[in-house]
Homo-oligomer: A and B are copies of this chain.
């Protein structure tokens, strides 16, 4: 479902309901750019990579946000998906004030999107604006200040002195005896520009505090209001500010709701998505990596990354292989082994009947579907007894071979009137409605609704995402809140715990009894090739080579000698494999 700016406010209840009722939320973003050119090292430390992502959130923006909710449908034994596609554009054309936003575009990012037929007109003309919390507060305080006329005084320009004299005279005459004037209810001061209007407001506030000035088109009306009128006016003004503000907060509402739901959010290679979601809509990202982790985890307590799950679970790798692009996961999970659970798009969300790869809403839908299938697969490995017995009459999953589709149609037909499969096109849906419009058929529908027990059940197995004891289920415990991060020495990015380093021949652990001089460490290892130093704390860290050609023992000895000569004491250098073996031993 595409949500244009013009319909956003009225669609909010539908969005809220989808978030409130779902089991989890899949997300995806399209960005105006990724990195600054020439800024991508082959290998980098976590800190540097985060700094790069943080910088990206300050430069580039999400221009399309995809959200797909997945809701268990108990009666039909399947999941119902609701995919939303939002264009996001920081327009200043809604609300009364908007920050004047400047953002960066990477031409190559637009090139990429144009290959996917991205609609840049929809983006600018229909994109939904947003305010962060801080911007919202500034907005309210500014609007309230304008309301209470609490503005700093401005000087009266020489050119406007005559205008002001005339205006004051006119007001004075009216004040003296309103009934003697043409318009006993008030006096109108014609103004030519914003400066004159501001001068009049200022004058009335200062010299006629018992009167009220109200802007009209081309003039300002000065009146004497009763207390009741004044109260009503204040109330109306506040209501207007609130409404303007809601419109200006715009898309952040959706992010706030996602966060408030405390539900799983699922992405594919999602670290950059999460950075942008927070940086653009919630608050600027903190400078320190540890602060970011805490903030993100507070906002989104359960994150799951389909790319990370696939590239880490050994059992999945043997099924799927090492190609973990979303497109490939979609392809690989489109077979019998990943049949459970059945997933249908809600019939009011027919946008993705045909593939729309790289539209954020579609990618979110695919990501969530893949997640359900991977999770189910992992659960079946732990609990083979839960694998459902093949039911003879079960319709094929939507993704089955085309030859079987015709057979299916008949079966599908029986289930109309319940939440339909997503293979109901707009047109078919309309035809259905027309069909239902005849009285006879209406009765038939009612009959169907009453015979609830006749809803077809696909018999899918649902696995909880959070156990009754509040814990993440065993099948997911190794994956939740860990996401893919490439080109670092680490196997993943962890929102909660420290990351584990990748065990390759070119990775070392180093520690000393006192603070390790980082530059010295960097130089000592430098003799053997390009490498990074990722400190875990002041006294210890990891060293990772891009390619190490020398014998690791030789490297250890040479570096130890050099650091010893430089005065570093209590030094330990070992390969990461040795380090983890030692850690394990200590643990046991």
Contacts and interface: CB of A to CB of B under 8 A. Distances in A.
Interface of A: 32-33, 36-38, 59, 89-93, 98-108, 110-111, 113-114, 118-121, 123-125, 155, 157-158, 547, 549
B102 A106 contact: yes
Given A93-B111, A120-B120, A121-B120, A155 B101 contact: no
A107 to B, nearest CB: 4
Contact of A121 (B100, B119, B155): B119
Contact of A101 (B59, B91, B106): B106
A119 B124 CA distance: 10
A157 B547 contact: yes
A401 to B, nearest CB: 29
19 contacts: A37-B101, A59-B102, A91-B110, A92-B108, A98-B107, A102-B105, A102-B107, A103-B104, A103-B107, A104-B104, A104-B105, A105-B105, A111-B124, A113-B124, A118-B124, A119-B121, A120-B123, A120-B124, A157-B547
A111 B99 contact: no
Nearest to A106: B102
Contacts of A37: 99-102
Nearest to A118: B124
Contacts of A101: 37, 106-108
Contact of A547 (B92, B99, B158): B158
A158 B545 CA distance: 13
A37 to B, nearest CB: 4
B92 A107 contact: yes
Nearest to A91: B111
Nearest to A99: B37
B114 A125 contact: yes
A547 B33 CA distance: 45
Contacts of A92: 107-108, 111
Given A104-B105, A120-B120, 5 more contacts: A89-B110, A92-B108, A98-B107, A104-B104, A113-B124
Contacts of A32: 105
Nearest to A156: B547
Contacts of A90: 107
Q: Which of A89, A105, A119, A547 has the most CB of B within 10 A?
A: A105
Q: Which of A90, A100, A103, A106 has the most CB of B within 10 A?
A: A100
A245 to B, nearest CB: 18
Nearest to A37: B100
Contacts of A104: 102-105
Nearest to A33: B102
A200 B121 CA distance: 45
A290 to B, nearest CB: 29
A106 B93 CA distance: 13
A100 B106 contact: yes
A46 B59 CA distance: 30
A32 B301 CA distance: 39
Given A547-B157, A547-B158, A108 B103 contact: no
Nearest to A93: B111
A162 to B, nearest CB: 16
Contacts of A105: 32, 102-105
A284 to B, nearest CB: 16
A40 B544 CA distance: 49
A37 B108 CA distance: 26
Nearest to A89: B107
A72 to B, nearest CB: 40
Nearest to A548: B158
Q: Which of A36, A104, A107 has the most CB of B within 10 A?
A: A107
Contacts of A158: 547, 549
Contacts of A120: 120-121, 123-124
Contacts of A111: 91-93, 124
Pairs A-B, 4 closest by C-beta atoms: A120-B120, A37-B100, A90-B107, A101-B107
Nearest to A506: B158
Contacts of A89: 107, 110
A286 to B, nearest CB: 23
Contact of A107 (B91, B107, B110, B119): B91
A420 B529 CA distance: 72
A399 B81 CA distance: 59
A26 to B, nearest CB: 27
A97 to B, nearest CB: 12
A155 to B, nearest CB: 6
Contacts of A547: 155, 157-158
A91 B112 CA distance: 10
Contacts of A100: 37-38, 106-108
